[in-house]
Structure 1
């Protein structure tokens, strides 16, 4: 694994102009943020050694590197999912590579279904914790101590300081930021109404098909994580209507302006704090 990570990082480093400090994973319909990056360098996933390719609508399938709000960033414009048939090693490989490239913080975003009935489509939810409901873990198998410890602590999977910055950014922008627990299910089928009721009972506020494997690997690599969900639809059984991926893309399109200014403000505040350390 370490050899493959280094090979991918070397390839990307030959193209990059600056060392990235913050990684961004942009979920379904949220890849528009990458279009805001200044002096962008775009690298197709298919060109990077060891990278799989994204097969889902709403995922462009490329890295975009450059500057955003004064910070050197590397953005995944589209991610990989377990349900696409990739192993979790492949799904999380880009996180390993971004660590090798030099990032120390990761902002992971997703489109998620609202389980908590106090949420509404179009809400932005700060992820305070997660529940792994997929029965899988990307750390299963031999552990490479060069990459992280055998039993990583997940009691603060989502960094408290980054959450505080996100809350301040929302206040400045007058965005009604919600907070909640994200549940990972493998997908690709949406949940049944009975499953959604169960998830609500065990403490879930939103549900989706990504994020948790990436966060586990980020914490294994000692990368600070901030998680943001765009509530793209209400989960099954809450509203009397079927669920479709088209609805997900439609909702993220409507909320994209708030999402863009919110993440950019987070990066601006994070940059200010780093400069005063």
Structure 2
């Protein structure tokens, strides 16, 4: 085996292990989904590596070679995400979010390892290293800011801790509705009563006819939380209707503190 081939295989393998490690630490989705992601990134990184070599043979400018490699990787991720969305008959948004979120991890890992192990900067011009270093610092800073301030992972199956945060969001959104036990229009596998929600809130909707009209049954609801990469910030959708066509919803942000989760801001998401 040639030294260049061995280094390429090591670089690709370590970048995939980085993706698996991130998935294990933060958001484990199961073996099947992880295998699909690894297959996607394997094809993407191999294609990026081949694209770099092909472009580098024709142009000496390494920036063009790396740009072509990144483009190939992004195209592979897009095609794979599109195929996943169609085969699963699922919502496209979360699939594309996960594929490209972990894809960013795989791509940055491959670029960093490629520069470190393959020595492609050893004979570069004097200005190349500072420019690439500045670009790398900028990417890391942007990734850190985005990972901290944006929801990148929506919970699939709420855990007891997720359910507790959802109940807190309901109580913050409508303290009166929470105490009066209005109907909860949310179906998740949570022990609502143990978390403080009145049993009357778990009743099924039973509209009653009054003089030929349907009596309105007030309700409120809460969505599954979405967390930032560090899981110290959560975003939750809450809403409800108190009278027919008289209600609204909010998307609220919660930050983790020493005393637990604290609501920091809310934005109106819908109104009726």
Give the TM-score of the pair, scaled to structure 1. 0.25
Q: Which has the higher strand share?
A: 1
Q: Which has the higher helix share?
A: 2
Bigger RCO of structures 1 and 2 (CA < 8 A, at least 6 apart): 1
